[in-house]
Structure formats: C-alpha cells, structure tokens
Amino acid sequence: MILELMLKLTLTLMILLLLANVYLLTTKDWIATMAESMAFHFLGGFLAAMLVFSLYHSEFAKLSQPVRLLTVVAMTLMIGVFWEFSEYIANQILTNWIYQAYHYRGYFMGDLDDTVQDLAMDTIGALTFIILSFKFANPKIKS
C-alpha cells in the first residue's frame, strides 16, 4: 500500500517536474540558468531513486545496505545518462527544425562540464533519497 502510494507520488512529481522544466524553458527563451539546471537534476535524481526504490523494493530487501545503495545510485545514474543522450539527440535533430519553424536558435544541452555537473547532481539527489530512506526506515540512526 505504501509502496503503491510512493510510486504514484513519484510519477506525479516527475511529471510536474518535467512540466515545470518545459514552462521555465519556454518562458525564458529556452535557456535554463545554472541554478535551475542544478535544481532540476537534483530533484530528478531524487525522484529517479525514489522510483527505482519503489519499483524494486522487494528485491532490495534481499540485499545488504551497501549493495542496495550502490544499486540505487547505479540505476539512477543510468537514467541520468539516458537523459543526457536524449538531450544530445534532441540537440542534433531539433535545433535546425526549431530554427526553420520559429527562426530561433535553441540548444538542448551544454558542454562536457554541464553534462558532468548534471550527472553529479543526479547522484547527489539519489544519495539524498537513500540517506533519508535509511534514516526513516531505521529509527535507530541518530542525527
């Protein structure tokens, strides 16, 4: 019951995050500031870890905590890498189409530093979710 609720909440929050990102990008001439990009990737990593954890909770219960942590972070990073690939593909395919249709030169991705920073924020978001889930799942842990 709680896992189903967490899954529905995660999917709802991910959709809202995506809509907020689209809204900010379209109202700011398709350019996200560094702080917005960092915030979106942190939240994306947090929500991706929440999604992975809720989908595979029964399997994770069989693993030790360190293996569970590494697995959730690895799966979250895999989602982040696929997102970066989608940015690259959109940049290659849609940039000219947008320019031809709207006479606006927009880009979907930054340079290598931006990509590394995005993946780092995804990882930090995932680690934050893991720390919070371990803390609340194990009341013996003191702050």
Tokens in use for 143?
Answer: 């702050």
User: Residue 3: its pLDDT value, please?
Assistant: 64
- The residue among 32, 44, 34 whose CA lies nearest residue 117 is 34
Query: Which pLDDT tens digit goes with each residue over 4-60?
Result: 777 777 778 878 877 776 676 666 554 556 677 788 889 889 989 988 988 888 888
**pTM to 2 decimals?**
0.73
Query: Which pLDDT tens digit goes with each residue over 95-127?
Result: 787 778 777 666 667 788 888 999 999 999 999
Which range has highest mean pLDDT (58-67, 69-78, 132-141)? 69-78
User: Residue 104: its pLDDT value, please?
Assistant: 67
Q: How far apart are CA 105 and CA 87, in angstroms?
A: 15
Comparing 33 with 89, the larger pLDDT belongs to 89
Q: Which residue in the block uniquely carries the two structure tokens 């959730």?
A: 72
Res. 142 pLDDT band, cuts 50 70 90: very low
* pLDDT score of 139 more than 50: no
DSSP string, 72-98: HHHHHHHHHHHHHHHHHHHHHHHHHHH
